Amino acid sequence: MENLESHYLIVSSDEAKKHSSSNVSSNFYTTLKTPLKLESNVYEIGVAELYFKPCCRLFGYEHNDNLVVVEENKGNYFREIFVKIKKIWYDVSDFNKFNQEKGIKISILQYTLAGVLHYALEHEYKEEREFRLSDKFMEIFGFEKNSYRKKLIIAEKPYDGAAYARMKIGETAFFELVLPPKSTNLYLREPSEVSVAGLVNELAEQLIQHHITEITFSANEHEDGSDEIDLDGDIDFSVTFSKRLSSMLGIEGFIRPKYKMTNIDFFRGNKRIIIFSPIVQPQLLFDSAEPVLRFLNHPREQKNAVLSFNPIIYNPVHKTMMDVINLKLMNESRQPIPFEGDFTTVLHLRPKRI
C-alpha cells in the first residue's frame, strides 16, 4: 500500500494475548491483517487515543506477595529466679530440682582441682528460645553477654566465687526465657475492588477467620483525595506485609497499632508510563537513544480511563514494511510496568508534515 494519506491503527493487549501466551499487557505484539508498505522516511505516527481497562488484581506477581504476618508478643517470656541460700552447688542443685519439669537447668560443665567452675544454661524445648540474663547472673556465672539463642549456652568465663560470696543470704539473680512470638499467616484473596477500601475489607475478613480481634484496619479518604489506612488495637501485636504490599503501602519492616499508612501507591511509584515501539525512529531519552512513542502519566484511579491527545505528538516511522506492531509499557527506569489490565491504543499514521 503506497501513497497512503492517513490511516488509523487500533492495537490491543487483550487481542494480542488471544494469539500468543507470551504477550502481556506491558509488552505485546500485534500482527496487522493488511501489512502497510511505506516509503522510507516519509511517514510519521503518533498516539491519538489510549484506553485503560485495569484488572482487579493486586497479587499473583511474586511468590507470597499476598502474605501478611501477624505476631502476638503478649506474655512471651517468663522469669526464673536464682536464690542464694547456701553454697553454690547446693543452690544450683535446688534450682534444677525446682525447674526439672520445665526442662531448664544450670549445668556444671567443667570443674578443676583448683576449684574453677564453668557453668552452662540449657533447655529442652524444641522451639527456639532466647535467654536474657540479669547483670548479677552474668557476673556470678561468667556470662559475657546478656542474650543468647542456643539450647546449650556455655559461660565464657569461670564462675566468680568472690562475687557469689558478696551476695547476702536470700539475695537473688535471674534470667528470662523468651518464647517466640505467636505468628499467624494471613493469605489475602484478591479484593472485590482494587482500592484501599477493598484491601482493608479483605484484611478484616482474614482477621475474623483467624479469630484475631485485638487489632483492626480502617480506611480513610481525605478531602484532597488521598487515602489512609490505620492500624489500631493492642500494642503487643505487630504486622509484617509482603514485599509487594509494603511497597504499595509505603512502609518498611513491621508496624504496630497506632500506625497510619499514608504513602499508598498501588502502582509502586510508577507515576509515568513510557510507550516504547520499534516502529518509530530512536530519539534521545535521558542518556541514550530510544524508540519512544509517547510519555503519559499513570492513571491514578483503578477505573476505566480513556485518554485523547490533542495535539497528537508524531514521531518518524522507522520501518518501510509495517506488518507487526510491538508496544512496551515501561517506567522511567526502563522496568516493565506491573500492570495487567487491557491496554488499547489508537495510532494515527500519516505522511510527514513540512
Mean pLDDT of 33-51: 89
Dihedral of the alpha carbons of 17, 22, 24, 29, in degrees to the nearest 10: -70
pTM summary value: 0.54
Residue at 84 is within a domain: yes
Q: Please report the pLDDT score of residue 258 as a whole number.
A: 93
Confidence category of residue 270, pLDDT binned at 50, 70, 90: low
Residue 115 has pLDDT above 70, yes or no: no
- Does residue 189 lie in a domain region? yes
* Dist. CA 66–CA 249, nearest whole Å: 13
Cβ neighbours around 246 below 10 Å, total = 18
* Burial of residue 94, with CB atoms counted within 10 A of its CB: 0-12 exposed, 13-18 middle, 19 or more buried: middle
- Integer angstrom CA distances of residue 230 from 203, 256, 260, 265: 12, 10, 5, 15
Q: Which of 142-156, 200-214, 299-313 has the lowest mean pLDDT?
A: 299-313
Is 159 among the domain residues?
A: yes
Tell me the three cell numbers of residue 343. Answer: 491496554
Q: In the prediction, which pLDDT does 300 show?
A: 54
Q: How many CB atoms are closer than 10 A to CB 245?
A: 19
Report if residue 323 sits inside a domain. Answer: yes
Cell output for 24: 502481556
Structurally, the chain folds into a number of domains equal to 3
Average pLDDT of the chain is 86
Q: Quick one: pLDDT band at residue 1, thresholds 50, 70, 90?
A: very low
Domain that holds residue 312: 7-58+270-351
Q: Average pLDDT for residues 158-166, to the nearest whole number?
A: 92
